[in-house]
Structure formats: structure tokens, C-alpha cells
Chain A
Amino acid sequence: MKNWLSPKSMTGIALIAIALLVLPHVVGMGGQAWVRILNFAILYVFLALGLNIVVGFAGLLDLGYIAFYAVGAYTWALLASPHFGLHFPVWAILPIGALMACVFGVLLGSPTLKLRGDYLAIVTLGFGEIIRIFLNNLNSPVNITNGPQGITLIDPVKVGDFSFAGTSQIFGLTMTGPEKYYYLLVALALLVIVINVRLQHSRIGRAWQAIREDEIAAKAVGINTRNIKLLAFAMGASFGGIAGGIFSAMQGFVSPESFSLIESIMVLAMVVLGGMGHIPGVILGAVLLTFLPEALRYAVTPVQMALFGKILVDPESLRMLVFGLALVLVMRFKPAGLWPSPERSRELGDKSAEAVK
């Protein structure tokens, strides 16, 4: 273990803390839209770390992870919006959202634990689609989810009288809504990172790792593989549920469109591209894959203008095209991810990855 109290690591921690504190104000100079993107980046860090428990630690390929995010988001939306006229306080909804997602995680996990590898992948994918189709269609005969229109006017996060939406004065500083959410998200993300790090080196974390490497051997050394796998599903799902709740409150609006399969795939891409099972790598992957499409949005039009003098190709499709190519190229040259864990890069004999560390 590293010594966290050595002067060197203290300076590092202090620097990171200052950077995190001023970041929204620096990014905000380019407009509040960028602070919002920053918030999404942190939300995706949150999601990617949740999925990392399932895919990275336990080695269970989950292609329907966004379903838990959806469950969390809709739980918040239904319990804190005029749709049902309910306005629960935040400390009630977040745990309920996490619990609901956890229940769904176990619901999905228990029948599928026997399955291996790709069979599990397709079942989780199917589960994600089932949830989305239900969200899309549960507006008749009883209107529960309001169908494709989604739920609007969702309450923001409120602690006492302090609301995270809108601009307000804090200690003489003017803070916009996205900036306040930023600090909330950073706090939550730090909590999740700490939980992840602690889990990884715990008894449970080592059990997950054992299952990932060889399930039969893990069983033979006395690990209750069924419960431990269910635990991975449930924990990953609860993180997804909390992220979903925050998403719902931050946007003030949810619709089934936000929870399509491509979102699950994006979160998985973040985990794999960053470096599966390696927490700093996963964070890097989530931040990169959130910012890359947004940065490309601003870059493709001027670049085309400069090269050809006119817009030849629809910028929206060009930006996704570049994004897809980037995914292929990164995996082509860094098969273990951008920042894999040292053990993993040793296994693969990937010299360049070793050098990064």
C-alpha cells in the first residue's frame, strides 16, 4: 500500500483537489454548455465505475447496464414530479432508486447466473431492451411512464431550502445550476471511487477476481460463486440507479430515448477503452468518450470549411464517423485499453502500456 500521508502524495491530492474545485469555472468561460458536458462526464464516470464492478471485476459481460440507470431515473421521475403529484425529499428517493435498481439487478442476475460469456451478454442486452420497451409503452391502459413523451418538470435535487437548480449566492459567490450540480457530482463520484478502490482489494473484490479468472477454480477454493456474482450485479445496478436519479433531477426530464442500447454500449466502451478493471483507466475512458463527441461537434464544421471552403458532409454524421474510427483505432493499437492495470499489461506483454505506468 502507498503511504497516503507522505508529503509527496499530500501535495498531489491537494493539487487534484484544487483542480477539481476551479475546473467548472475555467470550463464555464467557454459557456455553461461546457459545464453541463463536464457534469455528464462525471455522471458517466459514475456509471462506468458501476459497470466496471460487473464487467471489470467480476468479468460478467453486461450489455444492458443502462436499464438500471433507467430504473433509477424513472424512480426519481415518478416520485418527484407533478406526474403523480408526489414530491419526495432527496434522501428518500436516492436510496429508493438505488434499492429499485438493486432489485432489478438481482431479478436479472438470478436466472442468468448459469450462463457464461456471450450468452450472458445477449440476455442482459435483451433485458435492457425489455425495460426500454416497457417504459415506452406503459402509458396505456394505465398511464405509468407517460410513454415516449417522457416525464417533464421533475424536481431538482433539493436539500432543505437549498435547490441545486438555478443561480444562487453561496458565501458571496454566484453559482449557476450546472456548477452546483458539478460539486454534488464530484462529491458523489469521489465516494464511488473510494468504494470501488476499497472493494477491489477487499475479500469480495478478490473473490470477484477469482471468478473472472477461473470460475471453476474459484468454486473449488470455497467461494460461493452464485452469491458473489449476484452481489456484483446488485452493486453495479445500485450505482446505475443512483446515477439515473441524479440524471433525472439534473435534466428535469426523462424519456425512454435516453436509455437505448447504444447507451449501454457506450458505457461498456468507456470501461473497455479505458482499461477494464483498472479504476483510473475507467475514469479516463469515461471522460474521454464523453468529451470526444462534443469536441468533434465543434471541430468538424470549421475543419471542413478550412479544407474545402464549404460543408461537404453532414457534420453530425461526420462526427460520429470519426468517433467510430477512434474506437477502432484505439483498440487496434492498445488492445488492453488506454490505461490498463499493470498486472493486465504484463499478462499481455504490452510494453507501451507498461511505459505509461
Chain B
Amino acid sequence: MDIFLQQIINGLVQGSIYALVALGYTMVYGIMGLINFAHGEVVMIGALVSITVTSTLAAAGMPLGLAGLFGLVAAMLTCMALGWSLERIAYRPLRGSPRLTPLITAIGMSIVLQNLAMIFWGRNYLTFPPLLPKINFEFAGTHFTLVQVVIVLLSATLMAGLIFLVYRTKLGMAMRATAQNPAVASLMGVNINRVIASAFVIGSALAAVAGVMVGSYYEIAHYQMGFMLGLKAFTAAVLGGIGNLAGAMAGGLLLGIIEALGAGYIGDLTGGFLGSHYQDIFAFIVLIVVLMFKPSGLFGEKTGDRA
């Protein structure tokens, strides 16, 4: 039972990170019907920028906590600029072109960003400076650290903020209108270009935070870290029903927990035949099973014929 609870906690932490990244995918998809394949790389850039800024400032004598805060802000600003430029360079010129065209530019941008990161930061794993003191908590036989608590709380706050933004502000209303029908929304005076750009910028800011979280949780970062993370987050978004904000959050948390439980129990379930290195399979098997029974995700609305 302790192992069970422990895995739930680990899954919750990983899941909050997935959820933050998944929100970026789902916002863009909801508004434009486009898979932003380069989103995982934005997470990676966020993590790497924050490492550089934090360690530079810390080396200059600034207290680590404050340096980390600056690192986080710098990562968010860089990623917001990056998200905005991505949309301008790779997606806006292609609006109205065949559906697969932006997918290929997204892949192209993803290759470009990965290799730019490799040129700037090198091929090696970078160690993430410990931003928070290592405090351990114990509760009902489970152990968790301050970093884990902060990750869960911070992502919950950000998600609440996003929900507020989308459902209680003018920009959010414009976003929902554009998602429903861009042509009509623009007739009602919504500036479609601005709405789409802001979806990219907000998604990228969340991705930057997720990048810093992943970095400080595993204490390493690498120019290829964004790829698998992006893939999992996208899986989470689809699991919840892509285009649906609450779905992305639920999908992210669910995916994190399923993965953690799967990794913890697969050995026992299969009599030692399959080990925990099959962890990555769970995400996809669950996805396939869910989509078999609910073809548009757990909370997705019925999508039109887009194929």
C-alpha cells in the first residue's frame, strides 16, 4: 500500500509537468486545429536558458533562490518570444494550406531548435543547480521532497490562472470564439492574428515553467530532453480530448499516475517477464485502449471530419 501511495505521489508530480506542457498543445490545437510539434523543444529551451541564467547569476554572488527566480523569468520571456516567432515564421504563412504542410514545418523547426541548442549548450548533460533546499517530508508512510510539493502547487496555480484567463477575460472570450469559428469571430471584431499569437505565447510561457520544473526535479537538462516529454504531453492532451483545457489537465495527471503505477507494478504483474524499462509503453497502450472506446478522448467533443 505504501508503494502504491508513493507511486501515486510520484505520478502526480510527473503528471503536473505533463499537464502544463499538454495545455500548450491543446490551446494551439483548439484554436487552429494544428499539432505544434515544436512545443517540446520550447520546454527544452526554457530549461537550458534557466540553467544558464541561474548559474551565471549564482556565480556572480546572488543567492541561489533569487537567481533561480531570475532564471525562471528569463526562461519564460525567452520562450514567449520563441513561441511568438514560431507562429510568425512557421505557421502563420501557411494558414489555409494543406493540413500536413504545417506539420512538416513544425518538424523542421523542431530539428532547427534542437540543433541550435546543441550549438549553444553542447552535447553533454547539464546539471541543474538545486534551486530549493532539499527538505524531505513524510506522510502516511510516503516520502516526498519540497521540490515535488512546489511543482504540484505551482502547476495547480498556473492551471487555475489559465482557466480564469480563458473563461473570465476578454482575451479568453476571443480565444473561445476563434476556436468555435474563426471567420465569424473575426466578423465580430476579434483580431484573429492576435488571438493565435497569444495562444502561442501563453503556451510557451507554461512550457518554460514546465522546463524549469523538469530540470530541477531530475537535476539535469539536455538538448534532446524536449522530444520525449513533448510526445508524452501530446499523448496526454489527446488522452483528455485534444482542444479541451480541462481534458489536457486531467490527461496529464492521469498519464503521470498511470506511468508511475505501471513502472512500479509491471514486474509483479507479469511475473518478472517485463521490467520497469517498459515504462514508456504504458502511455501509448493506455492511449490506444482509451481511443478504441472513446475515439475523441476522455473529455473530447465529437470532432468534425478533418482527415
User: Could you tell me which A residues sit within 8 Å of B by CB distance?
Assistant: 55, 59-61, 111-112, 114-123, 125-127, 129-130, 133-134, 136-137, 140-141, 212, 214-216, 261, 265, 268-269, 272-273, 276, 313-314, 317-318, 320-321, 323-328, 331-332, 335-336, 344, 348
Contact = CB atoms under 8 A, between A and B. Distances in A.
Given A141-B272, A335-B97, A327 B303 contact: no
A216 B242 CA distance: 22
A214 to B, nearest CB: 7
Nearest to A336: B98
Interface stretch (B61-69, B105-113, B186-194, B195-203): B105-113
Contacts, number: 152
A140 B33 CA distance: 42
B307 A60 contact: yes
B238 A122 contact: yes
Given A117-B307, A272-B101, A323 B242 contact: no
Interface stretch (B137-145, B211-219, B288-296): B288-296
Given A111-B292, A125-B231, A61 B100 contact: yes
A121 B99 CA distance: 13
A335 B109 contact: no
Contacts of A111: 288, 292
A268 B101 CA distance: 11
Given A321-B111, A325-B112, A331-B108, A122 B234 contact: yes
Contact of A320 (B90, B94, B111, B235): B111
A116 B295 contact: yes
Given A268-B103, A318-B119, 13 more contacts: A115-B295, A116-B307, A117-B306, A122-B238, A127-B284, A276-B98, A321-B115, A321-B119, A324-B110, A325-B108, A327-B107, A332-B105, A348-B98
A328 B109 contact: yes
A327 B115 CA distance: 14
B305 interface: yes
Contact of A272 (B35, B100, B277): B100
Contact of A122 (B107, B235, B305): B235
B307 A332 contact: no
A129 B280 contact: yes
A61 to B, nearest CB: 7
A126 B100 contact: no
Given A118-B242, A123-B291, A321-B115, A133 B278 contact: yes
Nearest to B118: A317
Nearest to A314: B119
Contacts of A117: 99, 303, 305-307
10 contacts: A61-B307, A126-B288, A133-B280, A216-B305, A272-B104, A324-B109, A325-B108, A327-B107, A331-B94, A344-B98
A317 B285 contact: no
Contacts of B149: none
Contacts of A268: 100, 103-104
Nearest to B111: A324
Given A59-B307, A327-B104, A137 B89 contact: no
B104 A137 contact: no
Contacts of B278: 133, 137
A247 B89 CA distance: 37
B250 to A, nearest CB: 17
Q: DSSP class of A's interface residues: helix, strand, loop or mixed?
A: helix
B93 interface: yes
B231 A331 contact: no
Nearest to B33: A118
B109 A127 contact: no
A324 B112 CA distance: 5
A215 B304 CA distance: 11
Contact of A321 (B105, B112, B274, B306): B112
B273 A123 contact: no
A133 B274 CA distance: 11
Nearest to A58: B307
Contacts of B109: 324, 328
A257 to B, nearest CB: 14
B228 to A, nearest CB: 9
Contact of A336 (B89, B97, B108, B110): B97
Contact of B108 (A120, A122, A276, A327): A327
B12 interface: no
B244 to A, nearest CB: 13
A135 B94 CA distance: 38
A118 B97 CA distance: 16
A15 B110 CA distance: 40
Contacts of B284: 126-127, 129-130
Contacts of A59: 307
A60 to B, nearest CB: 7
B77 to A, nearest CB: 24
Contacts of B163: none
Given A60-B307, A323-B111, A114 B295 contact: yes
A355 B278 CA distance: 52
Contacts of B114: 320
B94 A212 contact: no
Contacts of A60: 307
Given A119-B296, A126-B283, A137-B278, A320 B115 contact: yes
Contacts of A115: 291, 295
Contacts of A321: 111-112, 115-116, 119
